[in-house]
Structure 1
């Protein structure tokens, strides 16, 4: 049984780590075998749980917090070290061949995106291990989270185009190609490592866009924070990830004290904006407690006090409603439909690039490999309506033999 995966994200400082830890403690105390893992380089998950949590060296290295609850922090040194060594040795050889000083070469071989790759590979390992019923991921702040979640599809897109040609080159004409390039070519071992990463990334992408995974956005009822949360909802939908709830954190209890009353009024207005903005997505509220909720007992109490304010939040084990891309037939034409809540037509830029459709929403880009039926079509028009991007394709007659 695939575990239920919940990724928790939000603007830095809104309490996403506390929210993630409270959700994990609550799931574990309800009888679920639960892992809470942090992908944030500057994580505070150990502080929230009151445990000494160090970055894991291996996939399997987790720390028991209490019965049925384990925690883990992952980083660039987790799990990918052996595979990365193969690629690193090759890069050092390339840099040496062009005369780069060995000390400088050591610095240049730091793997871009190593933290994100390690986090995804580790998550994929845990999801298939059979050891967990629930996995809660305490993500980095929003920009890093979007980079993390965009990586599986983006890396797969590049590798699908690179690997076949590279392998043919190496097997058919390696000596001549190396001489022509003037650089040492990667060995088949190097390509095998990259291909393995590609396969794992595809598995993780399938998991995170399945009915067993969702994202929860944590925010506070402040205008700047709400604006960023609105943008991340659109960006997550662009990449095909479902948001199952919005958690409004640090809601100040109503009080007659003038200072608190002023905050109550401001937060009420913010909450009203949140309910309107995220219509259709359950909105939860968590109180601003008198003391910082650290340790399992305090986190369990925070989970008990977190209530559903708007909408209906299904049980954690229920299937997640998918918000993915689809293609609808409309007579002789086809319509590609991609949910983009809160987006407007003016926010979206489209470009057709061979067999790919490039969609840019407010600077966040996704390259969509078009299904075969749309590769034989051209874009007729596009627009955003009712929270969906709709791109209409019409057939290229010479690509469609009669009757097909």
Structure 2
């Protein structure tokens, strides 16, 4: 049953993931980490919702510095998650509880856009042929070499980012090949596979880290 749920969640034709973040430094940092881990496990994020923004109509001088700080953090959110769309939700005068208030929030958030539609297309994992070999790339934004551990053992590829680890069962087109190297290109970890000599015991060589 858990496997069926997991397949449902990673099916981009059925499931959309949207991150909700406040315009605060610590919350943004946590959202960036969450975004990386979601991509590691194949969950595609199609929008970021920035919540509790002080409306421009609020002119009380008490909130002026808060508005400036939020503007700075909002700009950081745009830069961090581009090209994913950022949707903005104002700080309301009350707690948004009940169908009527939630309907009001939905209209302000999505306007005429159908919220059930995918707002941004991305592929957490890609496989493409390159020369006589193949490349497998994983979208791992905000991850660095020091966060990464990569190991190949048999038909399994182990990828660890921070404290999270995922095991990939390699498709048959890659199981006959060896890892030639790993590097970061933009926000993607690119792992190259090429033909190599197989060891006498039938196991493949292991590769760790990236360059």
TM interval, shorter chain, is 0.7 to 0.9
Aligned with residue 23 of structure 2, among 208, 221, 242: 221
**Separation (CA, whole Å) in 2 of partners of 1:391 and 1:299:** 44
Which residue of 1 is the match for residue 204 of structure 2? none
SS of the aligned residue for 1:349 comes to: strand
Given that 1:287 and 1:306 are in contact with CA atoms closer than 8 Å, whether structure 2 keeps it comes out as no
Deviation at 1:398, TM superposition (A): 5.6
TM-score by length of 1: 0.46
Given that 2:128 and 2:135 are in contact with CA atoms closer than 8 Å, whether structure 1 keeps it comes out as yes
> Which residues of 2 match residues 14-163 of structure 1 at below 5 A?
none
Which residue of 1 is the match for residue 9 of structure 2? 208
For structure 1, list consecutive stretches of 5 or more residues without a partner in the other structure. 1-199, 400-404
Which residue of 2 is the match for residue 378 of structure 1? 178
Cα deviation, 1:167-222, whole Å, max 9, x if unaligned, reads xxxxxxxxxxxxxxxxxxxxxxxxxxxxxxxxx33332222222221111111000
Which residue of 1 is the match for residue 115 of structure 2? 316
Given that 2:46 and 2:122 are in contact with CA atoms closer than 8 Å, whether structure 1 keeps it comes out as no
> Which residues of 2 match residues 295-374 of structure 1 at below 5 A?
295-306=98-109, 315-319=114-118, 321-374=121-174
1:247 equivalent to 2:49? Answer yes
SS of the aligned residue for 2:82 comes to: coil
The structure in which a higher percent of residues are strand is 2
Which residue of 1 is the match for residue 86 of structure 2? 283
Count of matched residue positions in the alignment of Structure 1 and Structure 2: 196
Given that 1:239 and 1:366 are in contact with CA atoms closer than 8 Å, whether structure 2 keeps it comes out as yes
Given that 2:20 and 2:51 are in contact with CA atoms closer than 8 Å, whether structure 1 keeps it comes out as yes
Cα deviation, 1:7-66, whole Å, max 9, x if unaligned, reads xxxxxxxxxxxxxxxxxxxxxxxxxxxxxxxxxxxxxxxxxxxxxxxxxxxxxxxxxxxx
Deviation at 1:397, TM superposition (A): 4.4
Deviation at 1:355, TM superposition (A): 1.6
1:293 equivalent to 2:125? Answer no
Query: 1:395/1:265 Cα in 2 relative to 1: closer, same or farther (>3 Å)?
Result: same
Which residue of 2 is the match for residue 261 of structure 1? 64
RMSD: 2.1
Deviation at 1:262, TM superposition (A): 1.0
The structure in which a higher percent of residues are helix is 1
Query: 1:348/1:293 Cα in 2 relative to 1: closer, same or farther (>3 Å)?
Result: same
**Separation (CA, whole Å) in 2 of partners of 1:318 and 1:329:** 31
**Separation (CA, whole Å) in 2 of partners of 1:398 and 1:277:** 42
Structure whose CA Rg is larger? 1
**Separation (CA, whole Å) in 2 of partners of 1:358 and 1:314:** 39
Given that 1:250 and 1:287 are in contact with CA atoms closer than 8 Å, whether structure 2 keeps it comes out as yes
